[in-house]
Structure 1
């Protein structure tokens, strides 16, 4: 009697990319938490304005989360979550030595998360359509 050979199946490329983007989002969020909660003198500085640092950090994190999400509701939930986290971190900074929580920083973070959500959706759409075209002919 002949045994059926087990065939190793690899995940679809899109699924693999989605998984990596979700991991990148969690890494981004972890880095944001660490950098936001250390005392002022210990925080690394990029040389950019504080609001630009906020915008870029949340833009990159939201782009990863948005790319990893297949539904609009999930993307909007990540956007709301990141905006809420940003607001919470600004409040926490009020009691951290050398830090000051500011509404303008929360706004910059939320703006970056909004733009990142749109960029992640666009990137996922473009990559998906290119993959479909490649498969169809």
Structure 2
């Protein structure tokens, strides 16, 4: 029950706010013209995967209901495809189905990592 105590009240609201801030950041960065988008120096696909993994991780911890988690996963997976389609109309950007798939894979990884961490923490609580 320690987990539920930690992830409640102000901490829960903070995690949810961070998750939505990640969505806003992904949206802005996905729709910026190519010459205005900041680059980390890493491969674009790795950037996609990490951005979506972190966002998925936060959503998994921020919303505990299986229905909520499923809806967020579906919504973010769809958004990754929509952002790629919209890049057809943005100067200096080029859409890629592989980028959308990489984003969705990163999202899935973030959800799985959060679930495994939660499982590990719950095993520790029972000891």
Q: Same fold (TM over 0.5)?
A: yes
What are the Cα deviations for residues 4-39 of structure 1, in whole angstroms up to 9, with x where unaligned? xxxxxxxx4321333222111101111101111110
Count of residue correspondences? 123
5+ residue gaps, structure 1, are 1-11
Higher relative contact order (CA 8 A, sep 6+): 2
Question: The residue matched to 2:8 in structure 1 has which SS?
Answer: helix
> In terms of Rg, which structure is larger?
1
1:89 aligns with 2:83: yes
Deviant stretches of 4+, over 3 Å: 124-130
What are the Cα deviations for residues 40-62 of structure 1, in whole angstroms up to 9, with x where unaligned? 00000011111101000000000
Question: Which of 45, 65, 71 is residue 71 of structure 1 equivalent to?
Answer: 65
* Alpha carbons 1:67, 1:123 under 8 Å: kept: no
TM-score scaled by length of structure 2: 0.87
Question: Which of 88, 101, 105 is residue 107 of structure 1 equivalent to?
Answer: 101
CA distance in 2, matches of 1:102, 1:48: 17
CA distance in 2, matches of 1:60, 1:13: 19
